[in-house]
Amino acid sequence: MKYDQQLEELISLLLQSSENHWANYFTEALYLYNSGEKNKSYKKVLGAYGGMGSFNDIGLNFITNEEVERVLEIKKWLYSYSKKHKKNIFGF
């Protein structure tokens, strides 16, 4: 799947789980990506990970175990993809 498709699926699953804050957060990342601001989108995604109250700490309710597993797969994929494609401050 492509980056934007992964984000769209994640947003849908987050909404099903009533994780509106994170759904909105990743909707912003998707908007940045679709607006041509790919690097900003990658930085936004990476900013969700780590620290107290981060995306790593969410509790997924109201979705099936299979959907929870899918969220975990997407989380891992998005982190790796964003880290690989994000340009540093100097654009290298």
DSSP string covering 31-81 = HHHHTT-HHHHHHHHHHTSSSTTSGGG----SS-HHHHHHHHHHHHHHHHH
Residue 42 placed within a domain: yes
Residue 90 placed within a domain: no
Its pTM stands at 0.89
pLDDT in tens, 6-63: 999 999 999 999 999 999 999 999 999 999 999 999 999 999 998 888 998 888 888 8
Structure tokens at 26: 């990743």
Residue 18 placed within a domain: yes
Range of the domain at 68: 3-85
Rg (CA), the chain: 13
- Interhelix angle 65-85/38-47, rounded to 10 degrees, is 130
pLDDT of 69 higher than 90: yes
Domains: count for the chain:
1
